[in-house]
Amino acid sequence: MPHTSMLNHSDTSIVTIDRFIIEQEAKFPEATGELSGILYDLAVAAKMISSKVRRAGLIDILGAAGSENVQGENQQKLDIIANAIITKAMDHGGRLCAMASEEEEGIIPIPPQFKCGKYVLLFDPLDGSSNIDVNVPVGTIFSVLRRVTAGTGQGSKEDMLQPGLAQVAAGYVIYGSSTMMVYSAGHGAHGFTLDPSIGEFLLSHPNIRIPAVGKYLSVNDSYERDWSEPVKALMRRYRGLDGKRDPMNVRYVGSLVADFHRNLLGGGVFVYPANRKAPTGKLRLLYECNPLAFICEQAGGAAADGKRRLMDVAPTELHQRSPLYIGSRDDVETALRILEDDR
Ligand code: AHG
Ligand code: MN
Ligand code: MN
């Protein structure tokens, strides 16, 4: 089957992420190349984080053996290192006017010596970081928005607090058995696998489509006693216990990126409901939920906060949390139907 998004490629063509980004941009005569530059720089940051993650268990050993100068890095948690890599890769390109990260309380300004651009970047530098110590896949998630404030200087919170529908691009990187970057700039979701021997992301999953009905259910059901009755009813439905559907297979890694990625490719739903102790759930709307919702919808799936389409939510806080129901379209619709009783 030819790649429908890229008729100038065949299934066996070797296409780097850089060339793909440039070719996509060429389809839009009004594009200035700035967004392409952001995506390109993010791919570079992803490669650097990947190389750190791949050595995660070794930093202490190599440091202790004196075989390399670790410059204190053995003291740093990998999510701080990933945060610094993205900041340093993105702050001087002249395309961003501000950034925000799950790891930092306030906005990350563009240093005064660099030019400001018309976009803002929000990111979760290392998702699932508690899994690092046990060698389980982790990820990076990012979201790009166009500034809404006037002027050409520093951006502000107002530029960040936009509903997910305003995203111009979003993506994630999964550091799994291989490293993959999946992104969308609003024209389908496309996946690239890192060939570590040449240091290039190569197009491996053009035009990802998520099955309308999923086979996997990803949920941490240790919170069950704190769920509302409608949430419990929804879980009984997904598990086939109410006799209205075949049971789904439960798969929960505990790294959102890894759980989402499996469900995106194989079909499934990831849910992190609100519960009595966490009335707005755990996951962050701007750094985790919105970017994955953008990708998921671009792949034909759906995302909701339990009440409405997730990307309709107007954020009020940078670090705002949201319940999340994301994945195969029919399974998310089922959630919205059953959770109606929660309102
Ligand atoms: P982070 O490492 O960026 O803080 O995110 C962890 C998140 C997410 O990756 C995962 O799905 C979720 O936490 C797991 O939470 P529970 O342990 O409550 O299930
Ligand atoms: Mn996270
Ligand atoms: Mn994180």
Query: What CATH number belongs to 216-342?
Result: 3.40.190.80
The ligand 1 atom at the shortest distance from the C-alpha of residue 288 is 3
Q: How far is the CA of 124 from the centre of ligand 2 (A)?
A: 6
Domain with CATH 3.40.190.80 in the chain: 216-342
Is the per-residue pLDDT at 64 higher than 50?
A: no
Identity of the amino acid at 242: D
For ligand 1, atom 15, the nearest C-alpha belongs to 254
**Sequence-distant (≥ 6) Cβ neighbours of residue 147 within 8 angstroms:** 97, 98, 118, 119, 120, 155, 159
Q: Which of 134, 277, 282 to mutate to test the pocket of ligand 1 (most atoms within 8 A of CB)?
A: 282
Strand ranges of the sheet holding 268-272, from the earlier edge strand across to the other edge: 249-250, 216-218, 268-272, 324-327, 302-304
pLDDT in tens, 108-119: 999 999 999 999
Strand partners, 272: 324
Give the end-to-end CA distance of the chain in Å, rounded to a whole number: 45
Residue 275: CB within 6 Å of ligand 1?
no
Identity of the amino acid at 250: V
For tokens 């705002």, the residue is 320
Query: What confidence tier does 133 reach under pLDDT thresholds 50, 70, 90?
Result: confident
For all residues of the chain together, what is the average pLDDT? 92
Residue 141: CB within 6 Å of ligand 1?
no
Q: How far is the CA of 151 from the centre of ligand 3 (A)?
A: 31
Higher per-residue pLDDT: 4 or 162? 162
Domain with CATH 3.30.540.10 in the chain: 12-205
* Integer Cα distance of 278 and 273 in angstroms: 9
Predicted pLDDT at 27: 83
Q: How far is the CA of 320 from the centre of ligand 2 (A)?
A: 13
Q: Which of 283, 285, 292 to mutate to test the pocket of ligand 1 (most atoms within 8 A of CB)?
A: 283
Predicted pLDDT at 68: 43
Is the per-residue pLDDT at 235 higher than 90?
A: yes
The ligand 1 atom at the shortest distance from the C-alpha of residue 127 is 3
The ligand 1 atom at the shortest distance from the C-alpha of residue 128 is 2
Is the per-residue pLDDT at 62 higher than 60?
A: no
Predicted pLDDT at 61: 57
For tokens 């890694």, the residue is 253
Q: How far is the CA of 98 from the centre of ligand 2 (A)?
A: 20
For ligand 1, atom 3, the nearest C-alpha belongs to 127
Q: How far is the CA of 102 from the centre of ligand 3 (A)?
A: 6
Superfamily of segment(s) 12-205: Fructose-1,6-Bisphosphatase, subunit A, domain 1 (3.30.540.10)
Q: What is the mean pLDDT of residues 126-151?
A: 94
Query: Strand, coil or helix: what is 170?
Result: strand
Query: What confidence tier does 29 reach under pLDDT thresholds 50, 70, 90?
Result: confident
Predicted pLDDT at 2: 45
pLDDT in tens, 85-113: 999 999 999 999 999 999 999 999 999 99
Residue 319: CB within 6 Å of ligand 1?
no
Predicted pLDDT at 25: 87
Q: What is the mean pLDDT of residues 228-255?
A: 97
pLDDT in tens, 267-308: 999 999 999 999 999 999 999 999 999 999 999 999 999 999
pLDDT in tens, 157-203: 999 999 999 999 999 999 999 999 999 999 999 999 999 999 999 99
CA dihedral 277, 314, 129, 195 (to 10 degrees): 150
- Asked if residues 270 and 255 have their Cβ atoms less than 8 Å apart, the reply is no
Identity of the amino acid at 127: D
Is the per-residue pLDDT at 257 higher than 80?
A: yes
The whole-model pTM stands at 0.94
